[in-house]
Chains A and B, each alone.
Chain A
Amino acid sequence: MEKSNLNEKTIQINSVKFHWSNKSKFKLHIPELSVDKGEKVLLLGESGSGKTTLLSLICGFLTPLSGNIQLNEKLINDLSATKRDQYRSDNIGIIFQQFNLLPYANVIDNILLPLHFSKLRSASISNQRETAISICQSLRLPEDVVNMKASELSVGQQQRVAVARALIGNPPLVIADEPTSSLDTDAQNLFLDLMFSQVASSNSTLLMVSHDKSLSSKFDRVIDMKNVSVKEQ
């Protein structure tokens, strides 16, 4: 198991270049970056270092100007926009910094939302509602929360619902963009522990972005943007 994991790469990036326009100062060049299957990786970086751009490239919102991005050994930058959207909903669970949920929808509907766009993920679940409730339970969300409106939840609860949504249907990859930055230290630790156990139980790979070095010890591996990207003049 361990051994096969080492060979399988969830993310494989080779000599990727991206910039918005020729005039812009910001240019991203990543010669090589890879994340193994089942790994929990922390991507550290200052603001403006290109973390979010990198995530957008991995999620298929953006396509690189040159280079290759492979997810589960599938090259995604050649796919059409529609196919990339489909690939994203089938394979990636995304957790934002904050405001993850549709405020007007209830918690269950928010959690089940990705299943609406991914047949692959919805096919793996027999009873969607029960599955959503059981994930909520393992994330220690109060029972009555599931039928509440997302806007009525506390920030910590909202972030945990976002985890539940990202992991429903067991996508191979979970991307989290500073999901703890709006939480205090205690809540941060609880959140990370809950997220890790959930990621582990669905055999997903986790790539989390943060600027907070103190979180490093909790992860299998830490990648610093400084070390993977090349400054271009």
Chain B
Amino acid sequence: MLLKLTFNSLYARLLTVGMTVFAISLSLMLYMSVEKLRTSAYTSFTDTISQTDLIVGARTSSVQLLLYSVFRIGNATNNITWESYEDVIDRKEVAWSVPISLGDSHKGFRVMGTNNEFFKRYKYRGGQSIELEKGDNLDDLYDVIIGAGVAEKLNYSVGTPLIVSHGLQSFSDHDDQPFKVSGILAKTGTPVDNTVIVSLEAIEAIHVDWSTGAKIPGQITPVEEIRQMDLSPKNITAALIGVNSKLQIFQLQRWINEYPEESLSSILPGVALQELWRIVGVVENLLLGISVTVIFTTLIGMTAIIFSSLNERRREMAIWRAMGASPKVVIGLLMLEAFIISVMSIIVSTVMLFLTLYVLQPWIDNTYGILVNIETLAVKDIYIFMLFILSASLVSLIPAIRAYWFSINDGMTIKI
């Protein structure tokens, strides 16, 4: 009976209650989308590279090695020699390896020398492979494969010629050896999208006429001649390594770190990603702060709305009291109202959230490379909901207690 009457009462104030529910739903939805984006950004970030067990580079900090080898941010302090690389991959623990050579750029995008193994071994988002959207693998010496971001921003297609610049911000181009786009990769949401990929041999080729970072004056070796030369790489920047058994990772890592002939570092990408996220995590905390503020604001808003309805409902309270309802019932009615409003808001916001995510997911993935996973509510969400209902009911105690005093003092007199 009381439940039915409470519903009747809410229904009679459909517009006000509807607006309240809508307002609360919006802020709950905002909170949930921030939460979803937060966790999805984290997952996307930590999923930038997966199934690679170790990254090897010159002696440096793990975050720095991760930054330049995976995120193409910053520079390698040193290269490692091909001999060291071969010593590493000759170890029995190593199942596969992908050498990487960095240092040049093309119109602001990093150029990475590697081999076709890279496309097979580089995985992201828990084992997803990078795929060619158009064109072919690196077959010719002067073939390049570009990431989706490069293709989009520079408006390149298969067959477009391009010149690689020396270094990252230099005006000297390797214009004597033009390249040609042979393939374009599908969008991955990882730094691969903004990378220009060539073969290791191509990196050697464009540096034939260079010595210690500068062009040898007057020396231009013709392309035909270069094609005949031995272009096997002498240095690489880093290498991705997979092991035969996970149990051997630490053993191999220790061996690499103690490699006597050259100072090498090897890192576990997962651990380094976590370390890096902790630095980026300030933003995460900010988002969390915003989320909590939003919830807090919502609760205050709901209390204000219940409060403002109190005066006009004083008469109603007096009727309840005249019927023999104790002041506790009056408190209960208002709390029940807050309870119903918060439950309805949760339902509405969840429906809105999933509809919005469903519509926006492809766009967010394409634009920001963040895959927001639309799944059923997580246990954490349920906890948050219960916490919200609980706090809403508790906060509604404030107007309820006021109504309690009204109803005790009003007695027979009905204030209108």
Contact = CB atoms under 8 A, between A and B. Distances in A.
A56 B412 contact: yes
B296 interface: no
Contact of B325 (A61, A85, A96, A99): A85
Contacts of A112: 1
A81 interface: yes
Contacts of B322: 59, 88, 94, 96
Given A99-B315, A105-B8, A117 B414 contact: no
Interface in B83-101: none
Instruction: Please classify the interface of chain A as helix (H, G, I), strand (E, B), loop, or mixed, using the class held by over half of its residues.
Output: helix
A109 B1 contact: yes
Interface string B308-338: 0000000110110111111111000000000
B282 interface: no
B380 interface: no
A28 B319 CA distance: 25
B382 interface: no
A39 interface: no
A17 B183 CA distance: 99
A52 B8 contact: no
Contact of A118 (B8, B9, B324): B324
Interface residues of A, number: 32
16 contacts: A52-B412, A61-B411, A82-B328, A85-B321, A86-B326, A89-B324, A89-B325, A94-B412, A96-B322, A99-B319, A102-B9, A102-B319, A104-B13, A113-B1, A114-B323, A116-B323
A109 B411 contact: no
B149 to A, nearest CB: 58
Interface of A: 52, 55-56, 59, 61-62, 81-82, 85-86, 88-90, 94, 96-97, 99-105, 109, 112-114, 116-118, 151, 177
Nearest to B315: A99
Nearest to A118: B324
Contacts of B4: 109
Contacts of A101: 319
B341 to A, nearest CB: 16
Contacts of A177: 412
Contact of A61 (B9, B319, B412): B412
A109 B412 CA distance: 22
Nearest to A91: B324
Given A56-B411, A59-B412, A105-B8, A90 B324 contact: yes
